[in-house]
């Protein structure tokens, strides 16, 4: 008997995830891909996948996978006036790949489970390239039983599919991962302009921080783009700010001191206040460049 899988959200991550679910499947499933934006749906096609803007297409789905911008959208999609919860098959499993706050994930999961729908908060890491290659890291929160049942499905999209603990544990893990990443980028934004202001060559400095002991995924991704003045290739600052808000919420609720995270948040806020919310995280360097009157750029050929 064919299993019906619905995926809601077909952005940079969602559509590649749908493709891997379909291409690595057993051929005994019906896969429905839904996005409310007609512009995203236009031109998307793949054998075995029904692509639509019609939410009614999720009716009867036994698995619903969400890949949405934030927690408020997730709650609205599931529980709003036109919510999907009441259209699913009885006992359907909901997997949320979105990045949302830990507390919100727990609240959503409990509401679904109280209504008879198993839930995994399962945010992913690996960027669009990882989504396309099917090599994402998937961090799951929920019961052991739900994780075990859904792991074969998640193995189609991830190289590392990990059960991190009870409800909310996936989102908490993603917050930790993202905050460490943000701290790396904030450090680059602060220090690189200082080094250039002191007379170091930006291009050679970039080679050091992407190959030496300070190298990180953040430096290897963002430094080449900073050197080229390219600040519009990654996830927008304004949308990614929710990760630092989530960390601050945990810090306040539990009384955990996070001084380095707080400093990185200030750097983030400087870029947002300077009007760079639509640009990627590399744009955190711009306020420091403006302050010091330098540009961390490779020479133009």
Q: In the numeric block, which tokens belong to residue 287?
A: 């306020």
The structure tokens 């896969």 sit at 31
Residues found in the chain: 301
Q: How far is CA 246 from CA 141, 208, 288, in A?
A: 16, 33, 25
Instruction: Report the alpha-carbon distance of residue 204 to residue 43 in Å, rounded.
Output: 43
Instruction: Report the alpha-carbon distance of residue 266 to residue 268 in Å, rounded.
Output: 5
Instruction: Report the alpha-carbon distance of residue 25 to residue 214 in Å, rounded.
Output: 41
Instruction: Report the alpha-carbon distance of residue 235 to residue 128 in Å, rounded.
Output: 10
The structure tokens 């409990």 sit at 110
Instruction: Report the alpha-carbon distance of residue 68 to residue 236 in Å, rounded.
Output: 15
DSSP symbol at 211: H
The helix/strand/coil state of 18 is: helix
Instruction: Report the alpha-carbon distance of residue 271 to residue 286 in Å, rounded.
Output: 7
Parallel, antiparallel, or unpaired for β 29-34 and 3-8? parallel
Instruction: Report the alpha-carbon distance of residue 145 to residue 267 in Å, rounded.
Output: 42
* Active-site residue list: 174
Instruction: Report the alpha-carbon distance of residue 24 to residue 144 in Å, rounded.
Output: 24
The helix/strand/coil state of 141 is: strand
Q: How far apart are the first and last CA of the chain?
A: 61
């Amino acid at each position: 008997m064919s299993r019906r899988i619905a995926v809601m959200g077909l952005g940079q991550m969602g559509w590649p995830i749908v493709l891997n679910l379909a291409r690595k499947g057993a051929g005994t499933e019906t896969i429905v891909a839904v996005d409310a934006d007609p512009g995203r749906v236009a031109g998307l096609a793949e054998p075995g996948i029904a692509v639509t803007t019609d939410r009614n297409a999720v009716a009867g789905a036994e698995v619903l996978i969400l890949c949405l911008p934030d927690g408020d959208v997730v709650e609205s999609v599931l529980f709003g006036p036109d919510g999907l919860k009441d259209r699913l098959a009885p006992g359907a499993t909901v997997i949320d790949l979105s990045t949302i706050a830990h507390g919100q994930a727990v609240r959503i999961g409990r509401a679904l489970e109280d209504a008879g729908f198993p839930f995994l908060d399962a945010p992913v890491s690996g960027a669009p390239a990882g989504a396309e290659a099917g090599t994402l890291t998937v961090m799951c929160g929920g019961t052991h039983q739900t994780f075990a049942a859904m792991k074969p499905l998640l193995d189609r999209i991830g190289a590392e599919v990990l059960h991190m603990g009870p409800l909310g544990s996936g989102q908490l893990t993603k917050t930790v991962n993202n905050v460490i990443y943000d701290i790396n980028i904030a450090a680059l934004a602060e220090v690189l302009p200082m080094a250039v202001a002191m007379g170091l060559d930006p291009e050679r400095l970039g080679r050091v921080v992407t190959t030496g002991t300070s190298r990180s995924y953040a430096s290897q991704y963002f430094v080449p783009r900073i050197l080229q003045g390219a600040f519009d290739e990654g996830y927008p600052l304004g949308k990614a700010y929710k990760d630092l808000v989530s960390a601050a919420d945990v810090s306040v609720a539990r009384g955990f001191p996070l001084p380095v995270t707080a400093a990185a948040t200030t750097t983030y806020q400087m870029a947002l206040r300077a009007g760079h919310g639509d640009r990627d995280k590399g744009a955190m360097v711009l306020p420091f460049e403006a302050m010091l009157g330098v540009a961390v750029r490779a020479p133009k050929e």
